[in-house]
Structure 1
Amino acid sequence: MLSPAVLLFVALCLVILLLQQIQQRIRRHGDAKKWGCQPPLVAPTGFLGIPGFIRMTRAAKKKHWVEFVAERYSKYGNTFQQTMLGHQAMSTIDPENIKALLATQFNDFCLGTRLREFYPVLGAGIFTLDGAGWSHSRALLRPQFTRDQVADLCLMDGHVSRLIELVPKDGSIFDIQRLFFLLTIDSATHFLFGESVGAMEDNRVLGNASVGNAQGFAEAFNLTQEYLAYRSMALSFYWMINPKEFRDATRRVHEVVDYYVHKAIEAKRHPEKKEPGRYILAEALAADNDDPKVLRDSMLNILLAGRDTTSSLLSSVFYFLARHPAIWEKLRHAIVDEFGDSQNPKADITHARLKDIPYLRYVLNEALRLLPPVPLNFRVAAKDTSLPLGGGPDGKSPIYIKNGMPVMYSIYAMHRRKDLYGPDADSFRPERWEENAKRGWEYLPFNGGPRICLGQQYALTEASYTMVKLMQRFTTVENGDPGLKGPIVDSKLTMVHGDGVKVRLY
């Protein structure tokens, strides 16, 4: 039996906790009133949000997660509150709210548990860190994406030429998405680390350390991202998702990246052996810090962005072009008119000339609108704060956001709002960008605010160059999967087409 003194102590602690809760509620009520906040619509998700979470995981397994989330916005409005595994969370596709999350109230929000969720693969880097760690990582990476670096089309040319060699020349159906993911991991490792992993080659050996088939590395990298997406969905229960398949894939990815880490450290220790030439990210990172774990984390974080954004964009472009032959013809005419075809080239392909083809830009913009590379994202409140819209019967009043509350936003759903993009918002129509080329926070394929994607111009340049080279070489694209009624959107960390992009190229 507990002594009276212990019982008194326990009772006193409970009273203190209760008083703190009451004080917190009074303070929050006062802040909400001062900020003009009104309650948001609450979407039903069942007891502790468990039934809603189960429905979402089932949708993810069926490669329907992104559309499942978008359907909830069409049902409950542009901003609503829901419960997920016992946690209150806010969901929004209001541009003003997303602007507040990413820019005007940047310091009110953070990445929450992302570091712990993604740590087994990505460690501590630009995509997982907040605060000073993030600022330092971004400052190190920024020089890699200067205009001179991005415009280095000679580096891309060899990889795109290899891609064209792998395209079946007999008009047979193939999955072009798979080739784009191999292309971009080769070009990204070459661009960022000074040497390509060689995913488009068979049985590549890196230096003296054989890492097996480099295509296996690309597949392992894909698999790790799939599990990281599941860990992110599980919120505070992320630690439960750690199967052997995930650990094995992570180990394989780390083995390959560690090869580049070793090269970078050796270049720092023996500068006389370095070949003069362009800025190489891996060597710049090693000059700042030659801790192998720090280097691996930084390199993996930027590899994720350098590779996935471009491959996702190119796959989506060819998905749509294969279904819109008139748009293919219009774009190809513009490209051949500027550069000629592969048999009769007219002019060198340069960064400036790529930007001088408006219709190429419109096609890219429209693919990014309908199928943004990062369709779903979130932030977590770092303090008690508010968002500008979503409260009250008309949704026009501010809403109160408690410290620690996740705020999820869907770029995919926002880009398809008919009140923002017209009644044909679900249609692929590049001409809309000729009619209204200026977009604000309702168009965010590369995020916004201080964390806007550093590699945006790199991705657009590589995608543009690849499209030009393919359209110079092939006159016709055909849909290789006519039974598919719409894109199967499978969001790992970035958007992929769940059943690939099957086409014929002549």
Structure 2
Amino acid sequence: MATPSLIALIFLLSALYAVTKSIYTRVHRYQKAKALGCRPPTKAPSGFLGWEAYKQGVKAVRASKILELMWNIHLEHGNTFQRTVLGVSAIVTTEPENIKSILATKFKDFSLGKRNQMFYPLLGDGIFTLDGAGWSHSRTMLRPQFSRDQIADVGMLGDHVDQLIALMPRDGSAFDIQELFFRLTLDTATEFLFGESTNSLAADKRSSSSGGGGGGGGGALANISDDQDFAEAFNRSLDYLAARIRAQRLYWLVNSSESRKMIKVIHDIVDYYVDKALARRQHATDQEKYIDSSSAPSSSSFSSKYIFLDAMARETQDRKTLRDQMLHLLLAGRDTTASLLSSSFFYLSRHPRVWNRLREDILSVFPPSETSPAAADDITIARIRDVRYLRQFLNEVLRLAPPVPLNSRWAVADTTLPVGGGPDGKSPVFIPKGQRVMYMINNMHRRRDLWGDDALEFRPERWEEKGKHGWEYLPFNGGPRICLGQQYALTEASYVLVRLLQRFDSVENAQPEIAEPRIRFSLTASHAFGVKVKVFPSEK
């Protein structure tokens, strides 16, 4: 049995080893950085172990001013700076060259860090949380399902947009269009993914959720959980994940019975659809075996319409894998498109000149007819491309209101960023293994040196002048992890805008007290106080 003196000696030697190793590592990294010509970035005040920075961040989140906080720090400390939160140091950058390095040229030097563990309770293992072979396998499995033919099929959207229009007041009353957009994209995403829509726009129950999207579940969802609101449970679960992110390495402390209850509601609903898809797959397999043995006529038990989950069930029959991937895609398919549409109306309601030009261009390609004001059957992706100002408009919305305004990576090896170091910010920055690097898309999209003196102004015409863009514009990420669903989001948003600007003559801002977006950021961005507008229908 070890004596107290022996235990003390072992403890002392261990501490001495740890200190010596730490000093050696620091000296080695210093010498390595110097040899590479690297210089440290400026440091933003953070308080002891970043405690003050954490409190500042929590306060900003509660006031829906987190992006304003990061913008002000950027203005004070430059395009690349270092900041510590709860003992975790982060290099924060808005430099296109650095972001290109993180996401593309030095892609293998960075990982998602603890994101998988932070998001696991809700999302499990999927394309947005895995690194390495797991991520590569997920992307290979999902990519074929986002083929151009599937994305270009807008027929499924028609009925949902009809329901959206039916809920929009025609008497000039103010309403929150963001709430309707979150319900719309939940309905369209669940139909695209599961083959059955939540039908939240058609539900009698109306409720507004904290994330901007509300609405009760309909159809099969209502049969599973009569007393639970699927959208509300989803939004509250995303808030829970956002709180785990803010807690940094202490993420595991953020847990509650309420969050577990919400997550179970979501898992039960998605499992219901996964089980249905697996049953259809098994039935189809049995039919094929029967046909092979008896030469009977062939008939597939899979739906004639495209169902994403059925296509995935042909790739894998693992129940958890299917559930996890569907949850990842539901998050992306619902939240990013709803954010884009909500921001579109935020700016349209404040810029009547843009509304008038966009509507004129839409009507020149899709004129409403006497018998069908919406002319929905004539709207195709090929014809939407003829409305050039629509794409310029969406580009500008995504510039000033990107659905994912900030993101981060962790270095898995000693590496460098090309710029950001030294007093002038032009020297390379040494990034040691284990260092967190955050990149601020929202701030980069507002830099005057990149976008001109009017960078903070909403002006879609800049895209006529700009032409092609580079890494200074990144609403859907870039490099190997570029968003698979960006064309899906742009297609749905374009179709919805065409339908709405066909139907309504004008829109008015019903929130004159809000001049600039007040963003509520959990995993994606939404408008903290909704997007309240008044719309006025056309005579036809």
- Per the alignment, residue 36 of structure 2 pairs with 35
- Report the equivalent of 1:305: 332
For the residues of structure 2 that align with 1:30 and 1:285, how far apart are their CA atoms?
50
- In structure 2, the residue matched to 1:61 is 62
C-alpha contact (below 8 Å) 1:40/1:395 kept by paired residues: yes
Query: 2:365 aligned with 1:365, yes or no?
Result: no
Q: Distance in 1 between matches of 2:512 and 2:16?
A: 67
Correspondence 1:280 to 2:303:
no
2:490 corresponds to 1:424: no
Q: How many residues were matched structurally?
A: 505
Tell me, yes or no, if the aligned pair for 2:37 and 2:428 is still in contact at 8 Å: yes
RMSD: 1.9
The answer on whether the counterparts of 2:192 and 2:306 sit within 8 Å (CA) in structure 1 is no
The answer as to 2:427 corresponding to 1:397 is: yes
**Shift in CA distance, 207/46, structure 1 to aligned 2, threshold 3 Å:** closer
Partner deviation per Cα, 1:463-491 (whole Å, 9 max, x = no partner) = 00000001111111111112223211111
Equivalent residue letter for 2:420:
G
- Is the deviation greater in 254-263 or in 367-376? 254-263
C-alpha distance after superposition, 1:115-145 (max 9, x if no partner): 1111111111111111111111111111221
Is 1:340 equivalent to 2:363 in the alignment? no
Moved more, 183-192 or 239-248: 239-248
Map of 1:36-435 to 2, 5 A cutoff? 36-202=37-203, 204-206=218-220, 209-212=223-226, 216-271=229-284, 272=287, 274-341=301-368, 343=370, 348-435=378-465
Matches of 1:8 and 1:504, distance apart in 2 = 75
Query: 1:5 Cα deviation (Å)?
Result: 5.0
| Secondary structure class of the residue paired with 2:196 | coil
1:503 aligns with 2:533: yes
**Which residue identity lines up with residue 94 of structure 1 in the other structure?**
E
User: Unaligned 5+ residue runs, structure 2?
Assistant: 204-216, 288-299
> Secondary structure at the residue paired with 1:81?
strand
Name the CA distance, whole Å, in 2 between partners of 1:488 and 1:3. 60
Q: Cα offset for 1:11?
A: 4.4
Cα offsets for 1:231-275 (capped at 9, x unmatched)? 111111112222333222222221221111111111121114623
Given that 2:280 and 2:302 are in contact with CA atoms closer than 8 Å, whether structure 1 keeps it comes out as no
2:519 is aligned with 1:489 = yes
Q: CA separation of 1:16/1:182 partners in 2, compared to 1, >3 Å: closer, same or farther?
A: same
Deviates more, 1:30-39 or 1:44-53: 30-39
Letter in 1 for 2:18: L
Contact 1:184/1:310 (8 A) holds in 2? yes
Query: Residue deviations 1:8-55, cap 9 Å, x none?
Result: 544443444344334323321232123211121111111111011101
CA contact (8 A) 1:206 1:259 kept: no
8 Å Cα contact 1:174-1:503 kept in structure 2: yes
Aligned partner letter, 2:321: V
Q: 1:475 aligns with which of 502, 505, 513?
A: 505
Task: Give the stretch that moved more between structures: 244-253 or 468-477.
Answer: 244-253
Secondary structure of the equivalent of 1:171?
A: coil
1:466 corresponds to which letter in structure 2?
V
Partner secondary structure for residue 288 of structure 1: coil
Cα separation, 1, equivalents of 2:47 and 2:4: 42
Superposed CA offset, 1:95-120 (max 9, x none):
11111111111111101111111111
Q: In the superposition, relative to structure 1, how do residues 443 and 207 fare at CA in structure 2: closer, same or farther (>3 Å)?
A: closer
One of 433, 438, 445 as aligned partner of 2:475: 445
For 1:230, the aligned partner's letter is A
Deviation at 1:7, TM superposition (A): 4.8
C-alpha change, 1:23 and 1:422, in structure 2 (3 Å) is same
Give 1:166 shift.
1.3
Question: Cα 1:208–1:444, aligned 2, differ >3 Å: closer, same or farther?
Answer: closer
- Measured in 2, the distance between the counterparts of 1:210 and 1:269 equals 23
CA distance in 2, matches of 1:238, 1:314: 32
Other structure's SS at 2:220 match? coil
Identity in percent: 52
Quote how far apart the aligned CAs of 1:292 are. Answer: 2.3
Shift of 1:437: 2.3
- Inter-partner Cα distance in structure 1 for 2:52 and 2:94: 23
Measure the CA separation in 2 of the matches of 1:160 and 1:213. Answer: 26
Letter paired with 1:131: G
For residues 97 and 424 of structure 1, what CA distance do their matches in structure 2 show? 24
Cα distance between partner residues in 1 of 2:397 and 2:512: 19
Q: Tell me, yes or no, if the aligned pair for 1:374 and 1:495 is still in contact at 8 Å.
A: yes
Amino acid paired to 1:237: L
| Matching residue of 2:487 | 457
Aligned pairs (5 A) from 1:1-16: 2=3, 5-16=6-17
Would the aligned equivalents of 1:144 and 1:192 in 2 still touch at CA under 8 Å? no
Distance 2:6 2:335 in 1: 62
One-letter code of the match for 1:53? Y
What is the distance in 1 between the residues matched to 2:157 and 2:99? 34
For 1:423, the aligned partner's letter is D
- For structure 1, the residue ranges without an aligned partner over 5 or more in a row are none
- Decide whether aligned partners of structure 1 residues 204 and 44 sit closer, same or farther in structure 2, where only a CA change above 3 A counts: same
